[in-house]
Structure 1
């Protein structure tokens, strides 16, 4: 049995199971409805018996009253009681004639009332049975719909999307290829953490409406998870057309969303796969679309078409993501320290704390191999907390031992969007007895531009405690002079891409010189990264650069090695 036959067999089997399940549900509904109807019919019988009982009680009272009245009349007329006297009383007394009719009136009234109530109860049974049947049918429809559709957006869910892709794969229409696009809203968690679940749900609803209105049938749109959508483009088109579709998705989501009078933007990444080139079954296609999506997160375009070369990294990346949760608990993370010197006299000025992961299988991993993975989850907050705790404690220990140096710590864009960061830093500062003047917090220009107002508020709160800030990798981001003016900065760090070629590239030399002059005019110190030899260091000294770091000065070192190095300089 080949793959297509097996897929067809499985689908037929699932279809039969679905039909059997639907039949069982219908049978249960009918049983419940019939049982309810029988119950109501029993209530009618009880009601009729009660009415009849009441009628017979009335008749009995009337008969007893009639007998008492007859005996009383007989005794009053004749002075004694006898059968003949009672017959004579009944024959001559008009009042007794009226009383004789009362039992018949009670009997007629009881029968009539019981008949009317029985009819009314029967009508109620029919009406209520129909209402219950209608409600049961509606509940059944809703249950079937909710199994295959997302409750929030009413889009097809993961199960229905997989089924539709499978149907296209085995379709006899001669379909030779189709595309799947996996769309992820990358800033969904930040919005949810900041504004709450209701606001993030409102954003997802608006996104689904935009996608449906912009890309109608035959394109199938589904919601797979909290922040991810999938699109099935079953028409046989060129890859260029699909890339244009990806660009269209970015344009559709580019316009501002309004959530409770707050302006938001949705940042999307898109992974693209094609059948049958990238896979011949649903699971493989979706898995490889996820790999393409991961690559798209680090792409300037915001989308990527799957390529087999991506697979070389994907198993390792997936493994690392699953192991990141335990890296801190197992004490696999370690701080390395790279020295910074004063260019004028080559004395030790400070160090930059750099995190490394001593992975038991893959060895020593550098930040660019796992930090991006952490930034996709909330693990980055735990890592930042760990780095700050370890760095503050070590810096305080150095100063206590007489080593008067500054310590630089890198903050990510996720950190500058975390409103709890100032309180976290304040608490650790108090616990370690640290002087804030010993610490320089390094931020990048791009991290500020993600959400400038929120980032500025957090930066100002931390600066109010006495901490200083540095712009890292200056010149590679937005380089906005307006933000340089607003930020409470102590230094600019010139990116190594400009410093390393300063002897060979005149343009790099001009940029370094201009940056140094700009920083000094703003009252800032300048640190040059990537100083790899003595000639570069000499040129930086001639240009008036304040600080330098690089392999010529010292590579990033573990704590014990750095302490030994610091004593030797």
Structure 2
């Protein structure tokens, strides 16, 4: 529980860190975007402010220039008046004065139209200007009459001074207004500059943060990619390379074109250790073997675990050097290993294939090293180099065994299912799992082509485990579809002497969540005879776990009724050789009748295989046989086709 809790906390911590990193990255990106928006807004404001400032400066300058012009014009009028009076009103001065009078009206009209100046101020200036012009006209009129105009002259001076002062005051006012405006503009520009600099700093900081997070993401992704690559090419238990790593190294070595050798190592007695001391001890054994192989490794050597108790080495060595290395490895592996306070001895069989003499590519080298390894196993261990003679004549079975071993690892075994029906109701009541080998070059092979070599080499254990796992997994899928279909699986003789076998079955049932009552193990009488005591104990433990036991091919070989008493099965299966000839040979019918009667008296179910026609099926029904299977009912089908067959038939399933 503590380990699981620690693992959960670690996972939660990693998840929290990931969420925090994501939040930081998103915040940094959002902040960077906001900063860019602020910079853009500042630029727009600055541009708008510049345009407004330009327009305002132009306006004030125009007003100031106009007021200055008006000031010049009224000063010119005043100067012309003074010159006119000083000369006693000569015609020349009069003409000059007349030309100057009213010169400021156009500019005053423009100011009035554009509302550039305060209306009251402009009206006051215009009134003073018009009054001044009337006084000047009066002076000119009285001068023409020869009257005394000194009073008018004083009045003109009194009127001109306020007019001039007002014009100058307005000009000064607008000049001061412009100065104040420019001061405010400068203040705003300074503020915008500060905001822009601050925003740039923030954006740069956020950009740096974003870059830091993204770089962290990239490094994390690179580490994860490297970890995934390592996991894809390495064995999780031992840390050695795996089959994919081996193929990569072999292909690379072939491309280099230099001589090298491949050693395949198969541990002997590993299954016994694993079954007796448990899987944990088996794992410890494999780890220790990996350490010893690693300790013996030299520069350039590649050590991998292919799976199970198989290892491989790629050595940059010629054949004789490779065999010497193989013997060194054997010496290292034969040293006792301490497991659960026990000293355990193991041995190994090593096959050697060398490039280029024994093969020109990875696949050929693996196949030939496998053949050599089986030759070593046949000679009860040691080191064997590949010999082309091993692939000819009767020893071609070694090549088949090698291909089968590789085929099991590649998932080439497929399971077909031959349905069984209840003879009385003609409804399906189960199916028998039958293994086939989908060979990459020879096509679909039946069991007769590879089961005997598998039994000779010990590969039958791997075949049985594969078939069991596939069948139980399919049982689970059928159950999900509403088909609770019992399935029977053939079990080899060596499984009945394996005390760990009941536990293996129990674990497999639990792993696939299949009720034990849906599994029937088919055994032969000869399998029991090899070791009655151990086989009886294994069968008893299987029965206690709820697994059904069937005696296959009953009536052939050395059948003994005592076997039915000492280790009672659940059913007897009549061999096809009797069923197929029932209609032709009364002796076969008599044997079938006797087996059915015997089973009924012992309260066992009876299954007949090899039903090829309707007459045989009717005859079995008349004899009281419970179940039947054969090509008359259905040929063996892949799981998908059997599912369709069940759905198409519209038959309810009868679990026997």
- Normalised TM-score (structure 2): 0.39
Higher helix fraction: Structure 1 or Structure 2?
2
Rg larger in 1 or in 2?
2
- Normalised TM-score (structure 1): 0.45
